[in-house]
Amino acid sequence: MKADATRDAEIATLMLTLAAACGPGKTLDPTVVARAYAGPHPDGWGPLMQPVRRVAVALAHEGRLVIYRKGKPVDPDDFRGIYRIGLPHVE
């Protein structure tokens, strides 16, 4: 497995690319990011769910992504359970 910093940078790039491909106003399931990075087998992508979450939180703090829960933006430091990610709205 790659070093954490390298892996996280690759996940961040992939996450932003996939979120952009979804288009404005659309969200992305974080498992899609993990599967795109590690392949379709759960043994490959399952262990990446915590790193994907950590990267999503970091990108949300930078204002590059928004984390959604039940269709509403949430505080990246205070959310639990199932979430989705998307690009911030540009007005």
Its pTM stands at: 0.92
Count of CB atoms within 10 A of residue 56's CB?
25
% of the chain beyond a pLDDT of 90: 90
Domain ranges of the chain: 4-86
pLDDT the model gives residue 26: 95
Q: Find the mean pLDDT for residues 13-42.
A: 96
Domain 4-86 in CATH 1.10.10.10? The answer is yes
pLDDT the model gives residue 30: 98
Q: Mean pLDDT score of the chain, rounded to an integer? A: 94
Q: Find the mean pLDDT for residues 52-72.
A: 97
For residue 71, which of 86, 49, 53 has the smallest C-alpha distance? 86
Q: How far apart (Å, rounded) are the C-alpha atoms in residues 15 and 49? A: 12
pLDDT the model gives residue 3: 67
Helices (DSSP H) in the chain: which residue ranges?
4-22, 30-38, 42-45, 49-61
